[in-house]
Copies of this chain bind each other. A is one copy, B any other.
Amino acid sequence: MTAGLRLRPIGIVRSRFREPSDLPPPAFAPPRFFERSTGEIEVFPEFAAGLDGLEGFSHILVIFHFHRAGGPKLEVVPPGESKPRGVFATRSPHRPNPLGLSVLRLLGREGGRLRVSGVDLIDGTPVLDIKPYTSRDRKSHIRTGWLQKQRRPAR
């Protein structure tokens, strides 16, 4: 067992969302709100060569630091819900390890700059890793537990 793991940002998000409160919860966002939301990931120059070959992929997985999250909680009440849920059954930022994950559409790359859509991240978010989205990440016939009961499906 490892005692711990220290990570450092490889890049930063550029987004029109300045504050966590600028981001509507997915279940309550207008239709196609996030699909239309564009932004950039600036990968730091020392890591830009690591992006070579990513251009051919339509989508990327971005692991980021929830740097504005405050402290962790084991139970959270999701937006619009009344019942608390275990934090690992939600996408809440209040996690023991404050790691976030977004699947973004990759629109283009110029050197270390990735133009993306699907942005649900705030400006200045530290990016920890970028991975290509592959067919193994796409699951069909999924069940989404308590989310299925929400007024609008989370898309």
> Could you tell me which A residues sit within 8 Å of B by CB distance?
1-10, 12, 26, 34, 43, 47, 49-59, 61, 63, 65, 67, 74-75, 84-91, 95-99, 101, 103, 105, 124, 126, 128-148, 153-155
Contact = CB atoms under 8 A, between A and B. Distances in A.
A146 B1 contact: no
Contacts of A142: 57-59, 133-135, 138
Secondary structure at the A interface, as helix, strand, loop or mixed, is mixed
A144 B138 CA distance: 12
A129 B9 contact: no
What's the number of copies of this chain in the assembled complex?
2
Contacts of A138: 138-140, 142
Contact of A143 (B2, B57, B130): B57
A99 B86 contact: no
Nearest to A96: B10
Contact of A86 (B1, B50, B74): B50
